[in-house]
Amino acid sequence: MKQDAAGNPAGFTAASAAVGRAIKTLKLPAEWITPTLELVARESSFNHKAKNPKSSAEGLFQFLDATRANYGGDKVDWSDPYQQALAGLKYIKDRYKTPEKALEHWDKNKWY
């Protein structure tokens, strides 16, 4: 796996900054950062440009077309990691209530 100058996986610094900023913006608990980044690592390996060749899933949180439509659609700049993080955190809160519960679902199903 490629690493940045600090020894983190490639993309980690940008993804971490985007998720951290989105957590603050949405006034979510600061403790959400670690489990949310674990989910992002599993879904996209911190690559905000990640695309799944088997589906329409894209981005840090691997949103499908329908999910993107439900979480901002054309009003979101899906190329921006911060805007992806805002949508991803809203989705986690709406569907699972916490990132830990999203990870539990991922552990059982290999998706969330």
**pLDDT by residue for the chain (112 residues), tens digit each?**
677 666 677 789 999 999 999 999 999 999 999 999 999 999 999 999 999 999 999 999 999 999 999 999 999 999 999 999 999 999 999 999 999 999 999 999 999 9
Q: Does residue 4 lie in a domain region?
A: no
Is 83 part of any domain?
yes
Q: Are 17 and 32 in contact (CB under 8 A)?
A: no
pTM of the model: 0.92
Q: Please indicate, yes or no, if residue 2 is contained in any of the structural domains.
A: no
Q: Would 6 be classed as within a structural domain?
A: no
Range of the domain at 26: 12-109
Burial (Cβ within 10 Å: 0-12, 13-18, ≥19) of residue 85: buried
**Within a domain: 53:** yes
- Number of domains making up the chain: 1
Q: Which two tokens stand for residue 40?
A: 């992002």
Q: Residue 81 sits in a domain of what CATH number?
A: 1.10.530.10
Q: Is residue 98 part of a domain?
A: yes
